[in-house]
Amino acid sequence: MASVDHNSDDSGSGRTAGRRRDATATRDAILHSAVVSFTRAGYDGVGVREIAQGAGVTAMLVNRYFGSKEQLFAEAVDVSFAPRTVVTGDAGTLSRDIALSLAARTAPESDHLNPFLLMLRSASNPRAAEIMRAATERHVGQDLRELLPGADAAERAELILALITGVWMMRRVIGTAALADADPGSLTRRIEAMLRVLVESAGNAEDRADI
């Protein structure tokens, strides 16, 4: 969101008491509501009426400003994927940084608005999947790739994304017991060890084949 101007608070639950007739504010409110709704229920699990209600407007304005639900989704994915959620910048501490952040954010009590949740809950729709494929390679995939030293950076970066995605899936979307109740320290150490296999395996994959 950000920018533009305004006095009233629109970012929370719409703009019930806010000033009316402001195109950019209405557009931002719809987009923010879309990110929240798509993350919670996925592309097919939420209707434009619900998104509009979350922004304090009627469903008609969603298509007015974004053309279609699919185009709104594409913009919402871009907003959700834009901030680098786990990558902190240092290749040396990358494995630990990702593991710590992942264990904390997938904890049952956390309700962080996360791009991986959006991805998992929208993956069943083929068009949504294609939109997310493009966004993934454009945002976090590229960031990770450039951070990894050695050969096969793209393959290793996407395996990192696969592990992160899988942990989000089993721990938070499916919610299996052992992961949901796992000790944060133990979980962090195990994820970190798995990530190190990818981060440190410069050049030849066989270097790590006989650990």
Partner DNA sequence: GTCTATATAATGATAGAC
Partner DNA sequence: GTCTATCATTATATAGAC
Task: Determine the Cα angle at 36 with ends 30 and 41, to 5°.
Answer: 115
Please choose which of DNA, a copy of itself, none residue 163 contacts, taking the beta carbon within 5 to 8 angstroms, the exact cut-off set by kind: a copy of itself
Q: Is residue 174 a contact point for a copy of itself (CB under 8 A)?
A: yes
At which residue do the structure tokens 């949901």 appear?
180
**CB atoms closer than 10 angstroms to residue 199:** 23
| Site membership for a copy of itself, residue 178 (CB under 8 A) | yes
Token pair, residue 180, equals 């949901």
Give SS3 for 40: helix
167 is a site residue for a copy of itself (CB under 8 A): yes
**Helix, strand and coil in the chain, % to nearest 5:** 65, 0, 35
**Which is nearer to a copy of itself, 22 or 137 (by Cβ)?**
137
Distances (CA, A) of 100 to 60, 111, 116, 162, 186: 43, 16, 16, 17, 11
Asked if 157 is part of the footprint of a copy of itself (rule: CB under 8 A), the reply reads yes
Interaction partner, residue 105 (a copy of itself, DNA, none; CB < 5-8 Å by kind): none
The token pair that represents 172 in the structure block: 């938070």
Q: What is the dihedral of CA 61, 122, 144, 81, to 10 degrees?
A: 20
Site string for a copy of itself, 100-119 (x = CB under 8 A): -------------------x
Query: Among a copy of itself, DNA, none, what binds residue 17 when CB lies within 5 to 8 Å by partner kind?
Result: none
Nearer to a copy of itself, 23 or 174 (CB): 174
Interface residue list for DNA (CB under 7 A): 20-23, 26, 46-50, 57-61, 63-64, 68-70
Based on the shown chain and the rule CB under 8 A, indicate whether residue 158 belongs to the binding site for a copy of itself.
yes
Distance of CA 12 to the CA centre of its chain: 20
Query: Residue 114 is encoded by which pair of tokens?
Result: 């996360």
CB nearer to DNA: give 20 or 208.
20
From the CB of 194, what's the least distance to a copy of itself, in Å? Answer: 5
- Contact between 35 and 45 under an 8 Å Cβ cutoff? The reply is no
Given the rule CB under 8 A, which residues bind a copy of itself?
41-45, 119-125, 129, 132-133, 136-137, 141, 152, 154-159, 161-167, 169-171, 173-179, 182, 186-187, 189-194, 196-198, 200-201, 205-206, 208-209, 211
